[in-house]
Structure 1
Amino acid sequence: MTATGASESVGARGAPVTGPWWWARRRSAVLDVLLAVASGLECMFEGVRFAQEAQLPELLGLFFGLVAGPVLLVRRRWPVAVVLVSIAVMPAEMGGLLSVVGLYTLAASEVPRRITALLAGMTVAGTLVTTFLSMRQDIAAQEDFNPPVWFVPAMSLAVGLVLTAPPVLWGLYVGARRRLVESLRERADGLERELSLLADRAEERAEWARNEERTRIAREMHDVVAHRVSLMVVHAAALQAVALKDPEKASKNAGLVGDMGRQALTELREMLGVLRTAEGSAVRGAAGSDAPERLAAVASRARLKAEPEAAESGAGARVAAPVRPVGSAAAPVSGAEVDPEGPCLADLGVLVGESRAAGMAVELSVEGAGEGESASGRRYGAGVEQTVYRVVQEALTNVHKHAPGARARVRLAHREGELAVQVENGPSEGGAADAGLPSGGNGLVGMRERVTALGGVFVSGPTEAGGFRVSAVVPAPVPAG
């Protein structure tokens, strides 16, 4: 709607505009045409009567009414012009319908209220003067009717208010209701857009969470199973090499392979069982957050069951439970967020012993070690120690896979506020080829994710001597008490 009252031809809430010109709908055009025809007939009749009273040609009055009446056709486009025309023809006592409909349209439009009040006041004044003069002439023509002095002004004012106030008030009400409906529609459209945006964001977050859970579950299974399977392959290769030369050693290696295989299968079955039982809950949106924690608990139980068997076989093998990365969005589960029975720095000796039992020459050195370990053997938080343990475990597994026969060195450095670990191996001795173990490229990725989740730094790459080095620095403040 412009300052002159011109309205935009818009449909209802996104509906296409089907009417011609400035009409939003065809029925609005039909209504205005009917009103214009009625107003034209009225103005022509009143124009002929005015011409007769003024002793003018009737054709002039008829033409004047034919021009003024159909102005209602443009009432939606220019309501101010319609009201001005109705005020202009008032002296000829014409345009009753034109005045009423014009005032209603003006009040219902977006024309400033001061303009509406001004034109309504002019209409009241014009009606008052016209009615006053007409009634004075009628009373003067009747000799037997002598009303009091206040009668004519009061009746003129009443007629002016009756012909002006109702259409103006009704137009103001309809305009206010229309604006309210439009504002409600805009708010509803805004809410729909916001809900759509929130739904899209929720879907993105759900997809991100699903990907995170898949990554975490894959990392946990990789940490728990891959190391033991890699040792199995190494022992199997050693068994093949000494089967004829040293039957006693071959028998020992066969026992180790069997024990490790049984432990790996037990852990794998329990983890897959957790995933199957969690699948139904994940559909309801509940299992996606606790599956890795349940995997951690399963791995912990598998480690506890595996320790006696490993001790009896003399391998010193120990299955370590996976750790839930610190800072994950998943809700904590009691006893599973960071497994208190999981591996710690004190278990690095056992881990190195496993690799030595598989035939690898491994050197372990610790720098800056001091007092501060708790009764459980931990000096730092469980998440920190388990992360360092996993880095060493995966690094040694990669040495078994890709550099069989190479010498390895594990260095652990206790510094103020941080813990540094480095695993470096030389080239394979005697030009030994790759062990042929499958690798999905997840080992280094998993180590990096664990370290960066704690706010640490992880670096890996080949050395100048032809080996490979893995280094990690993890923030490790000593917990109080």
Structure 2
Amino acid sequence: MSTTGEYVPGNRLWWWPRRRSVVLDAVLAAVSAVECLIEGVYFAERTGVSVGVTSLFGLLVGAALLFRRRWPVAVVLLSIAVTPAQMGFLLGMVGLYTLAASDVPRRITAVLVGMSVAGTLIATFLKSGQGYDGSLAATVVTSVLAAVGVNAPPVLLGMYVGARRRLVESLRERADGLERELSLLAEKASERAERARMEERTRIAREMHDVVAHRVSLMVVHAAALEAVALKDPQKAAVNAGMLGDMGRQALNELRQMLGVLRTPPVAAPVSVPVATPLLVLGDGDEDGPCLEELEVLVEESRAVGMLVDFTVEGAKRPVAALVETTVYRVVQEALTNVHKHAPGAKAQVRLAYREDEVAVLVLNGPPDGGSDVRLPSGGNGLLGMRERVTALGGGFAAGATGEGGFRVSALVPARS
């Protein structure tokens, strides 16, 4: 309802829910006022009271129907009060209907309906007994039938309409609740899909870094060595050039493999609510991904560029999950790449240990020995990527400088992750 009392679409005007309700109540009140006016004139003729007083009283009583939605109890009480004057037939019926359809407590409604029935019964009995020579039983039966016939239909109709209205409101509230829940689920699904896309982008970036950075780092080291010996030792320069070409081809092959995975069309699946599942898995548990048997080859590549690497394996070799093998391989690969970048000429140790329920790896290097600085760039993502890989499998990861000026990288991964 507006502050001025004017009707505003979508708002209530006083106690009316809509404009047509105002028109309906106004028409009913006008008809009821005319009815009570006429009945007031008859009442004046029977009692000798002034016609003007009874007519005015009848108009006011009939017009009270205009307030039936706001004060249904008061309207019914007024209709009961004027029942002895045989006035307000429409007022009583519409008032009872409104009372039964409203949210007034049922105990109050039952009391008022009982009072109305009793009032109608008494008034009908007194009117039927005047000038009637029939038996008392016939008069009582007639009065009871009249009282029930006048009061029962509007009450029953009002109870039906009220129950139906409450049911519709309940269904509407339930529908609104379901709509809100669906909207919330859609928002959460969108968030999960966005989170899945971000995780996939991070995974792809980590894979690109792990696969390419190691090869390119070795290529840069070989290029620096080639530059240093090109004039002094052409034969050694030729060997370094061949290694450089081999590593370049290996890097291109690995890039082609990753691009092939990215370009592979996704398998058609039923449309459903997006969930936070990865779209691609590059080198994470793939059957073609690196395994622990290839660590020796990885170490030899570093030895080929002049790094002193000590590689040892502890415990009995046994099959472990493919994803575990790939993760351990990538940790060693990135750790050796960091040695090339940040500790040229340093000695390194790689230790692989097969334990009962886990696989442990340690990469330890000493301080740089003053070797040539190849100035390899660093994006700062290597350690972060290693930690993400290991912790994703429920393992532990640690990295940090040693007291002798070197660096230590260690990982512990469950064998059956």
Task: Report the TM-score when normalising by structure 1.
Answer: 0.79
Q: What SS does the aligned partner of 1:278 have?
A: coil
- Counterpart for residue 250 of structure 1: 237
Q: What SS does the aligned partner of 1:349 have?
A: helix
- Counterpart for residue 301 of structure 2: 354
State the 1:149 CA deviation.
4.2
The letter of the residue matching 1:156 is S
Whether contact under 8 Å (2:197, 2:278) holds in the other structure is no
The letter of the residue matching 2:407 is F
- Extract unaligned runs of 5+ from structure 2: 1-8
Whether contact under 8 Å (1:274, 1:291) holds in the other structure is no
State the 1:262 CA deviation.
1.6
Whether contact under 8 Å (2:344, 2:371) holds in the other structure is no
Q: Aligned runs of 1:335-414 on 2, under 5 Å?
A: 336=286, 339=287, 342-366=289-313, 369-371=314-316, 373=317, 378-414=318-354
1:17 paired with 2:4, answer no
- Counterpart for residue 77 of structure 1: 70
The letter of the residue matching 1:99 is G
Whether contact under 8 Å (1:47, 1:65) holds in the other structure is yes
1:465 paired with 2:404, answer yes
Determine the C-alpha separation between the residues in 2 that align with 1:232 and 1:191.
60
State the 1:284 CA deviation.
7.5
The letter of the residue matching 1:292 is L
Q: How many residues align?
A: 407
Determine the C-alpha separation between the residues in 1 that align with 2:359 and 2:172.
61
The letter of the residue matching 1:453 is A
State the 1:283 CA deviation.
12
Deviates more, 1:66-75 or 1:412-421: 412-421
Q: Aligned runs of 1:176-215 on 2, under 5 Å?
A: 176-215=163-202
Q: Assess, with a 3 A threshold, how the Cα gap between structure 1 residues 414 and 200 changes in structure 2: closer, same or farther.
A: same
Q: What SS does the aligned partner of 2:265 have?
A: helix
Q: Assess, with a 3 A threshold, how the Cα gap between structure 1 residues 292 and 56 changes in structure 2: closer, same or farther.
A: closer
Determine the C-alpha separation between the residues in 2 that align with 1:203 and 1:243.
58
Q: Aligned runs of 1:28-107 on 2, under 5 Å?
A: 28-107=21-100
1:426 to 362, 366, 382: 366
1:239 paired with 2:226, answer yes
The letter of the residue matching 1:239 is L
State the 1:161 CA deviation.
1.4
Q: Assess, with a 3 A threshold, how the Cα gap between structure 1 residues 417 and 84 changes in structure 2: closer, same or farther.
A: same
The letter of the residue matching 1:263 is Q
Whether contact under 8 Å (2:226, 2:241) holds in the other structure is yes
- Extract unaligned runs of 5+ from structure 1: 1-14, 140-145, 296-321, 325-335
Q: Assess, with a 3 A threshold, how the Cα gap between structure 1 residues 203 and 27 changes in structure 2: closer, same or farther.
A: same
Deviates more, 1:87-96 or 1:230-239: 230-239
The letter of the residue matching 1:214 is R
CA RMSD of aligned residues (A): 2.5
1:292 to 280, 283, 286: 280
- Counterpart for residue 413 of structure 2: 474
The letter of the residue matching 2:342 is H
- Counterpart for residue 454 of structure 1: 393
1:273 paired with 2:266, answer no
1:168 paired with 2:108, answer no
Q: Aligned runs of 1:151-166 on 2, under 5 Å?
A: 151-166=138-153
State the 1:282 CA deviation.
10
Whether contact under 8 Å (2:358, 2:413) holds in the other structure is yes
State the 1:436 CA deviation.
2.9
Determine the C-alpha separation between the residues in 1 that align with 2:271 and 2:86.
77
Q: Assess, with a 3 A threshold, how the Cα gap between structure 1 residues 201 and 67 changes in structure 2: closer, same or farther.
A: same
Whether contact under 8 Å (2:315, 2:353) holds in the other structure is no
State the 1:17 CA deviation.
1.2
Whether contact under 8 Å (2:76, 2:112) holds in the other structure is yes
Q: Aligned runs of 1:135-146 on 2, under 5 Å?
A: 135-139=128-132, 146=133
Whether contact under 8 Å (1:223, 1:390) holds in the other structure is yes
1:323 paired with 2:284, answer yes
State the 1:118 CA deviation.
1.9
State the 1:465 CA deviation.
2.9
The letter of the residue matching 1:117 is A
Task: Report the TM-score when normalising by structure 2.
Answer: 0.90
Whether contact under 8 Å (2:360, 2:410) holds in the other structure is yes
- Counterpart for residue 125 of structure 1: 118
Q: Assess, with a 3 A threshold, how the Cα gap between structure 1 residues 440 and 282 changes in structure 2: closer, same or farther.
A: farther
Q: What SS does the aligned partner of 2:280 have?
A: helix
State the 1:345 CA deviation.
3.4
Whether contact under 8 Å (1:278, 1:291) holds in the other structure is no
1:228 paired with 2:219, answer no
- Counterpart for residue 6 of structure 2: none
State the 1:18 CA deviation.
4.0
Q: What SS does the aligned partner of 1:150 have?
A: helix
Q: What SS does the aligned partner of 1:458 have?
A: strand
- Counterpart for residue 331 of structure 1: none
The letter of the residue matching 1:150 is A
Q: What SS does the aligned partner of 1:94 have?
A: coil
Determine the C-alpha separation between the residues in 2 that align with 1:156 and 1:402.
110
Q: Deviations over 1:375-402 (max 9, x none)?
A: xxx4433333332221111100111122
The letter of the residue matching 1:187 is R
- Counterpart for residue 5 of structure 1: none
Q: What SS does the aligned partner of 1:130 have?
A: helix
Whether contact under 8 Å (1:220, 1:292) holds in the other structure is no
Determine the C-alpha separation between the residues in 1 that align with 2:51 and 2:296.
122
State the 1:177 CA deviation.
0.6
Percent identity reads 65
